[in-house]
């Protein structure tokens, strides 16, 4: 089953990365100007929209839940990068450098996913997509609280780990939605 999960993960990420690279070619890396808290708010907007669509079942702007989960994946990667890049790093990254950073963060997060999947036995496969949405919203609230505490935690994982979990929950939802197959 793990090799199947790996293949499914890679297919979903290929869809997300394709959009990330197209937008990077269109806009550059303008997202580098955002503070991590602003990216957290962007992820919140996406997750809240998914929840609204799950409850109302109607979209007035024509984008589906899958596209919002793709947005969460990409914003999580941007957020992780913003945490790790300094203000001295260039704001305008060349596409090939942005792609390398993207790949590095995806691989790191995929490794985390496999470690957790080992311990949890791929429980996500039996979860509802709406539960994945709720978990993402909970993680966002945790990140916002940690940000309000200036990054300090007493007994909890940090901001990066929460972004990685949100990224993985989004990939799971996209696998369940059959995106990338």
pLDDT band at 58 (very low <50, low <70, confident <90, very high): low
Q: Which residue has the higher pLDDT, 71 or 4?
A: 71
Q: Which of 80, 107, 38 is nearest to 166 (CA)?
A: 80
Domain ranges of the chain: 2-176
Residue 166: the pLDDT is 97
Residue 153's pLDDT band (cuts 50, 70, 90): confident
Mean pLDDT of the chain: 92
Q: Does residue 132 sit in helix, strand or coil? A: helix
pLDDT bucket at 86, cuts 50 / 70 / 90: confident
For residues 26-34, average pLDDT? 96
Please tell me the predicted confidence (pLDDT) of residue 102: 98
Q: In 3D, which of 166, 136, 122, 128 has the Cα closest to residue 47? A: 136
For range 90-105, the mean pLDDT = 96
Banded model confidence at residue 1, pLDDT cuts 50, 70, 90? very low
Q: What number of residues does the chain have? A: 181
Angle, helices 36-56 vs 65-84, to 10°: value is: 170
CA–CA gap between residue 56 and residue 48 (Å, rounded): 12
Mapping DSSP onto H, E and C, the string for 25-56 reads HHHCCHHHHCCHHHHHHHHHHHHHHHHHHHHH
Position 2 pLDDT exceeds 60: no
Do 76 and 167 contact (CB within 8 A), yes or no?
yes
CB 177, CB 129: distance < 8 Å: yes
**Average pLDDT of span 54-66:** 77
Would the pLDDT of 3 be above 60? no
- Considering the entire predicted model, what is its pTM? 0.93
The pLDDT tens digits for 105-134 are: 999 999 999 888 777 888 999 999 999 999
Question: Helix (H, G, I), strand (E, B), or coil: what is residue 83?
Answer: helix
Structure tokens at 32: 């580098």
Query: pLDDT value at position 81?
Result: 96
Find the mean pLDDT for residues 30-46: 96
């Amino acid at each position: 089953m793990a090799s199947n999960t790996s293949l499914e993960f890679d297919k979903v990420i290929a869809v997300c990365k394709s959009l990330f690279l197209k937008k990077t070619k269109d806009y550059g890396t303008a997202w580098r100007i955002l503070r991590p808290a602003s990216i957290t708010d962007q992820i919140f907007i996406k997750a809240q929209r998914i929840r609204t669509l799950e409850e109302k079942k109607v979209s007035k702007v024509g984008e589906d839940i899958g596209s919002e989960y793709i947005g969460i994946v990409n914003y999580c990667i941007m957020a992780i990068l913003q945490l790790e890049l300094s203000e001295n790093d260039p704001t305008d990254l060349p596409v090939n450098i942005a792609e390398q950073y993207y790949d590095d963060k995806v691989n790191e997060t995929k490794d985390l996913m496999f470690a957790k999947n080992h311990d949890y036995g791929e429980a996500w496969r039996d979860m509802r997509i709406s539960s994945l949405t709720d978990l993402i919203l909970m993680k966002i609230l945790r990140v916002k609280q940690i940000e309000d505490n200036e990054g300090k935690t007493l007994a909890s994982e940090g901001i990066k780990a929460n972004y990685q979990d949100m990224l993985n929950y989004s990939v799971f939802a996209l696998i369940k939605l059959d995106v990338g197959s």
